[in-house]
Structure 1
């Protein structure tokens, strides 16, 4: 959620795991059919997307995938990790998309998987936040030493971006903040659910003046007419 419930406060954010989305494929030929070769994702315009079928239930992943491979057929994929991996193995799909952190934390990432380096993750992907009741000082003091300041800052910037765009888990909004040499590098985008339009933004700020970076990026995108059209189309679809 972009807003915690009343009386609940952020206590600590653990050091971040991988932010990557990964593609778990069935065969090397399937992977090659996506234009992946020698560890590189090649120009998607060379791919015949009509032959592709992938599994995911994430609106964000579907939107970015469709933007790159517009002719792909997407199958709904739900359930826990083991269930989704089993469904993939029993299917005739080219592959399926997972969060790297979810598979790596439980040591289930298959060898037949590659990072989707071109896909921007969900805000705070790979991060775990611990919350407590506002008045519970004992819990606060016990858990606070687990906080990883760099991860907490990046996750907050990404969630601020999501909040500024009035998004949630059903909105195809992506964001990633990284800290390098005392600077925060931010990337964010919003995509039409069918992938026809993707609007992105990149911003950099010194770490000591980066508190508003996510909000500023989101508000800047809101001034773009293309973004307003995407948001309106999402609202119309929900009504």
Structure 2
């Protein structure tokens, strides 16, 4: 009974289409028929406002959620870091694919002198902005929006020192230039480098097909990171980084999580190892610890700043 065609919903950027085609190939290899349906999201259309002003939660996923609920597509493929921690009613997480590179990198123009003095760095992410300013308080940051190709072009046409990108996105569509440095000190966004596929809760055909694509280790690590995010944020946007990695030799989870003030001056962080048995509550407990150690006040300040 693999004769039903699974319609795969995706945004129409080059990276999103690459992700959708990756899922398509995996399903085809298992004997399923597929069709790709591309739609534009509000996040792609409105490029003149910073993401946090758009009420970032779900800005890239809303259009596809509606397409699924109204029956135009059966499943949707997303960069997991763009997906709200609470999915709309009736939509469920069906598969998390094996994670790619989690690192952020700085794309520059061949001259890194600005790192030692004043400089301007472009990023549309509050998390990257806060961590950059924490390390380079003498710098300025500017907002940078658009898909990966657009952002690359804007960087080349600007007088900025560099711009920050997720390594995974650039690697997937072969856009990684020679002029970059890995920002291995920067804690990535929760679920960075992971792709998620969602489906309707009652669509057993698609759910069964997608269950074969799920990578359990990535699913557990991203679950921890997103639980940390959800517990800290409570639905608003904030500079939060989280990375959980599984260490096979010791059967432990290494978790790094941090909350920053928007200007980067305050940093509340956790970096420790946990027994694998603790995974279900790890993100929640780590976030509660940060909230109890001053995080609550930092979050309240962030909410006030973003309201202005």
Encode CA deviations 1:68-110: one digit per residue, 9 max, x unaligned: 1011111221111111111111111111100111111111111
Partner of residue 205 from structure 2, selected from 130, 135, 138: 138
Kindly indicate whether residue 244 of structure 2 is the aligned counterpart of residue 161 of structure 1. no
1:206 aligns with 2:281: no
Counterpart of 1:106? Answer: 173
Asked if 1:86 is matched to 2:153, the reply is yes
- In 2, the alpha carbon distance for the partners of 1:95 and 1:77 equals 11
Q: Indicate how the Cα distance of structure 1 residues 167 and 175 shifts in structure 2: closer, same or farther if over 3 A, else same.
A: farther
Q: In the aligned structure 1, how far is the partner of 2:93 from the partner of 2:296?
A: 31
Q: Distance in 1 between matches of 2:264 and 2:235?
A: 18
Equivalent positions of 1:1-239 (< 5 A) are: 1-27=84-110, 29-30=111-112, 32-34=113-115, 47-48=116-117, 51-167=118-234, 170-180=237-247, 181=249, 182-225=251-294, 227-239=295-307
Question: Which moves more between the two structures, 205-214 or 149-158?
Answer: 205-214
Aligned residues: 222
The gaps in structure 2 that reach 5 residues or longer are: 1-83
The higher-RCO structure (CA 8 Å, 6+ apart) is 1
Deviations 1:171-214 (A, max 9, x none): 10100000012111100000000111011012322223322111
User: 1:166: Cα distance to partner?
Assistant: 2.1
- TM-score w.r.t. the length of structure 1 is 0.89
RMSD across aligned positions (CA): 1.3
Distance 2:224 2:280 in 1: 7
Q: Secondary structure at the match of 2:107?
A: strand
Contact 1:52 1:72 in 2 (8 A): yes
Sort the Cα spacing of 1:75 and 1:209 in 2 relative to 1 into closer, same or farther, 3 A: closer
Change (3 A) 1:210 1:93: same
Q: Is the 8 A contact 1:167 1:173 kept in 2?
A: no
